[in-house]
Amino acid sequence: MTLYEIMDILDAKVLVGRKYLGTEIYTAFSADLLSDVLAFAKAKSILLTGLTNPQIVRTASILDIAAIILVRGKIPQTETLRLAEQLDIPILTTRYILFEASGRLYTNGIRGCEIKVGTDDVIAI
Amino acid sequence: MNLNYENSFEIQGGSFLKAGEVSVFVKKTLQRMGLPNDILRKVAIATYESEINIISYARCGVIHIDVNATRVLIDVQDEGPGIEDIQLAMRAGYSTASEEIREMGFGAGMGIPNIMSCSDDFQITSEVNKGTHLKVMIRMPANTN
């Protein structure tokens, strides 16, 4: 589905990158941990997160993330928006919580960019 | 296609707002040079994790990028506390990150494991109270040159 349809499903507002709403999206990654985003998110996926600092944009740029969807109604710092414009990363914001936003997208056909990660061995640290 | 590039970048410890600036620059530069996408991704992630590590833990550090037609070398040397137990630091989930680092969304103990998973060859040496030295090699696919 397109970013435009995602905006519709999540009743989201576009903060940066209106011109990219036609981008086709198939997969997503949801996390509030950039370490995990860097380890597991795949190129061309969207990133759903509650983080709003400039590093979400740099992380998205490093990974070729197609768009950032901020959940829980977050509005990022000005620096984050400025950087997103500079690096051409669309940012949308939705009032849905992370679970609800992810679930609504899944129901409409978006899939996780990974299904499971790691191994079944549990290692105590 | 000219795939030669070499550059050094100085990173200041604690410069959280700038975290990732160097890595995004390196990635865009190598992208323009026509580095294959899968290599570009590995280089970008390894550089970014290294940059975050310097900013999070060290006083300062230097990231040296050296690209030719056969491989990319990422050499990261920092001055700082060093790593007491390297085996532990290489294990996913182990972290000594401060609250500030965690608030930024990092410090989950995935940095070094993630750099290793992007590397074809990985070496780490560290001296407590002096610093840490990472050497990362990422091989180019044979048909690039």
The answer, yes or no, to whether residue B145 has pLDDT greater than 60, is no
CA A33/CA A56 separation, integer angstroms? 10
pTM of the model: 0.91
pLDDT in the model for residue B108: 80
CB neighbours of B103 closer than 8 A, spacing ≥ 6?
none
A32: closest chain B residue by CA: B105
The two tokens of residue B33 are 């040079």
Q: pLDDT, tens digit, for every residue of A67-88?
A: 999 999 999 999 999 999 999 9
Q: pLDDT, tens digit, for every residue of B55-92?
A: 999 999 999 999 999 999 999 999 999 998 888 888 88
- Taking the Cβ of residue B90 and every Cβ of chain A, the question of whether any pair is shorter than 8 Å is answered with no
ipTM for this model: 0.88
A vs B, Cβ pairs < 8 A, gives: 74
CA B19/CA B16 separation, integer angstroms? 5
- End-to-end CA separation in angstroms for chain B: 8
Q: pLDDT, tens digit, for every residue of A9-41?
A: 999 999 999 999 999 999 999 999 998 999 999
Q: pLDDT, tens digit, for every residue of B108-141?
A: 888 899 999 999 999 999 999 999 999 999 999 8
What is the widest separation between alpha-carbon atoms in chain A?
47
- Taking the Cβ of residue B110 and every Cβ of chain A, the question of whether any pair is shorter than 8 Å is answered with yes
Residue from A51, A62, A65, A125 whose CB has the most chain B CBs within 10 Å, to mutate: A62
